[in-house]
Amino acid sequence: MGESTQVDVIIKLGGSSITEKEQLETLKLESLRQAAALVHTCVRQGLVCVIVHGAGSFGHHHAKKFGINDGSSHLPPESQAQSRIGFCQTHLAVTKLSHLVSDCLVENGVPAVTVSPCSTWKTRNGAVETSCIQPISDLVLQGFVPVIHGDCVLDSCKGSAILSGDTIIKCLCSHYSVSRVVFLTDVDGVYNNPPECEGSTLLSCISVSPNRHLNVDIGTSKNECDVTGGIMLKLQSAIDIVLNSKGLTPVFVCKIGSESAKEACCDGKITSKSGTVLHLENS
Ligand code: ATP
Ligand code: IPE
């Protein structure tokens, strides 16, 4: 599958949308079922879909506890042994989630197959050094729906790192011709300020200029309200996708289970009141 090969929609199931982030290894089953039904609708319409999901409460706790993203090379031998166990526990937890995601998709009639990056992707100081796209391409060509997830990976500098689902999506977008990326989250879209803050309003459309400026100011949660969401990081990934594709790949942020999520995934445009689209200015 070369650069011109078409993927209609990459759907990211955010960790906050399919898991209870504060409760260890707890699934939001109803939300996952809604997402699986939506993917089934897309597949039935003949759309080529790739699913990427985060770790949520499956993975983050272990990753944090064992400092997987800080690496292990600098540690004394006995701590390195501990770190390896933490690496395995993180991988086990996130693959447990991926099993549940693929299980729910298959139950809904989607031919989903999990592809774990842990043993095939590598980073160098956190940046992707080796990606493994071929198995994903092969699955797509045979009519399957690949399910890829954020994972722990080997890092050629620091020993280990966390590869996020958002980074995987950026990589996929640079290999394939992707019509749209849809981030499914637990809120209605991107707000001008954290949604729980009084007076915050939903942004239906965000324009990105070639020098990465946005047409609106967006308040992040950490300073104003005590929320640990990484929405700014997600926005940076979205901006990269829009700019790297020269505006050919718009990015949607929608609530899981919403009408806007359905419109964004199936039609590539939103007519209902919720949801946000990021696109290149003047496009
Ligand atoms: P990931 O897969 O990277 O974990 P996610 O889909 O789980 O992504 P978060 O990174 O947790 O999503 O981001 C979503 C959260 O960001 C929401 O729960 C929301 O409360 C918070 N948030 C903070 N500021 C904003 C904002 N300006 N607009 C939208 N959401 C915001
Ligand atoms: C995180 O991936 C992977 C691990 C912690 C193992 P993501 O960054 O894509 O996960 P979420 O969506 O934030 O939970």
pLDDT one-digit tens code per residue, 131-162: 999 999 999 999 999 999 999 999 999 999 99
Q: What mean pLDDT is reported for the chain?
A: 93
pLDDT tens digit sequence for 228-278: 347 887 899 999 999 999 999 999 999 999 999 999 999 999 999 999 999
Taking phi over 0 as left and psi of -120 to 50 as alpha, with beta for the rest, 3 belongs to: alpha
Q: How far is CA 118 from CA 100, 115, 173, 185, 256, in A?
A: 18, 9, 20, 24, 27
Q: How many CA atoms lie within 13 A of 164 on its CB side?
A: 15
Mean pLDDT value of segment 182-207: 95
Please give the Cα distance from 231 to 76 (Å, whole number).
35
pLDDT-derived band at 223 (thresholds 50, 70, 90) equals: very low
Percentage of the residues of the chain whose pLDDT score is greater than 70 = 95
pLDDT-derived band at 49 (thresholds 50, 70, 90) equals: very high
pLDDT at residue 45 greater than cutoff 70: yes
Mean pLDDT value of segment 85-103: 98
What's residue 228's pLDDT?
A: 30
Please give the Cα distance from 11 to 147 (Å, whole number).
10
pLDDT-derived band at 4 (thresholds 50, 70, 90) equals: low
What's residue 226's pLDDT?
A: 26
Which is more confident, 86 or 196?
A: 86
What's residue 24's pLDDT?
A: 94
Please give the Cα distance from 70 to 60 (Å, whole number).
13
Ligand 1 neighbourhood includes 98 CB (under 6 angstroms) = no
Ligand 1 neighbourhood includes 195 CB (under 6 angstroms) = yes
Q: How far is the CA of 232 from the centre of ligand 2 (A)?
A: 15
Q: Other CB atoms closer than 10 Å to residue 181's CB: what's the count?
A: 29
Ligand 1 neighbourhood includes 236 CB (under 6 angstroms) = no
Percentage of the residues of the chain whose pLDDT score is greater than 90 = 88
Q: Other CB atoms closer than 10 Å to residue 203's CB: what's the count?
A: 19
What CATH homologous superfamily does 6-280 map to?
Acetylglutamate kinase-like (3.40.1160.10)
Ligand 2 neighbourhood includes 12 CB (under 6 angstroms) = no
